[in-house]
Structure 1
Amino acid sequence: MKHVLLALDESDDRAVAQAETVRDLFDTEHTTAHLLHDFTDNFEGASVGQIAAVRHAANILEDAGIAVEYHETSGSPSTSIIEAADELDVDAITIAGRERSKAGKVLFGSVSQEVILGTDRPVLVCSRRTEE
């Protein structure tokens, strides 16, 4: 059984990219996807299941036969991702970068970079496929 952590924010495009990557790369019958959302500001007391991007990713994964578990944290996103990956003992972490200019594509965003450099687990950086 493989366990994959999807670090999801509120972007539907990035959540879809991560879910599609997990669906396409992992054995759907023997994978559990751990959907993590870090609330940096949660004044209304929302839960992870109320985030539209998380629900969309879950639908893609569940439709493919992948087991889904929900997790939420509050604090520094990169620290929360790394700590959750360690606590869950996942086999891989997925993150999704933001769109950047051609020059900006050389660098990852700060959260992505901190996760990549802060863990010894494989990190998949996912992007949405563009149709040409």
Structure 2
Amino acid sequence: MYHVVIGVDDNEERAMTCARAVADLPGDAAEKRVTVIHSFTDNPSGASASQLASVRDATEYLEEQGLEVEVNESSGDPAEQLLDAARDADADLIVVGGRKRSPTGKALFGSVTQTVILNADRPVMVAGELD
């Protein structure tokens, strides 16, 4: 079974881009297992990851494609949480969404995608835009 971990933030479009990329991976849907993870950096309302539209949409799409899906949530630095989840699950692939950021934005605020790419100990696929 090929295990994919997808990091999903609050953006529904990026979440769906990642979900479609995973569904399009070679092989039968029955041979793939997906863990969708969302890391809360601030959650004053106490929401669960499954209540977020981005997580719910991606999960529903993957299930409609016949993939086995699990949702995990964590709190803290999203890149670290995603890398830890992939390592703990011994995932075969990490999938993250790309987005355009200015060089100054990257330097000042960092990038979850960039951090995951640079620190992953397994393959990383970036779905969507990356400048």
Q: Same fold (TM over 0.5)?
A: yes
Q: Are residues 1:45 and 2:41 paired?
A: no
The equivalent of 2:65 in structure 1 is 64
> Structure 1 vs Structure 2: percent identity of aligned residues?
43
- TM-score scaled by structure 2? 0.88
Partner of 1:19: 19
Distance 1:74 1:26, change over 3 A: farther
- Alpha-carbon offset, residue 117 of structure 1: 1.0
TM-fit CA distance, 1:61: 0.5
1:60 Cα shift?
1.1
4+ residue segments displaced more than 2 Å: none
Alignment: residue pair count: 124
**1:62-115 CA distances to partner (integer Å, 9 max, x unpaired)?**
1110000010010011111111111111000000011346xx5xx7x6211111
TM-score norm. by structure 1 comes to 0.88
Which letter does structure 1 place at the counterpart of 2:20? E
Matched, 1:55 2:40: no
Residues 36-77 of structure 1 deviation map (CA, whole Å, 9 limit, x = unaligned): 000000111111100101111011101110000010010011
Question: Secondary structure in 2 aligned to 1:112?
Answer: helix
User: Which of 67-76 and 23-32 deviates more?
Assistant: 23-32
Give the structure 2 partner of residue 10 of structure 1. Answer: 10
1:1-132 alignment to 2 at 5 Å? Answer: 1-27=1-27, 28-100=29-101, 110-127=111-128
Structure 1, unmatched stretches of 5+, are: none
Helix, strand or coil: the match of 1:25? coil
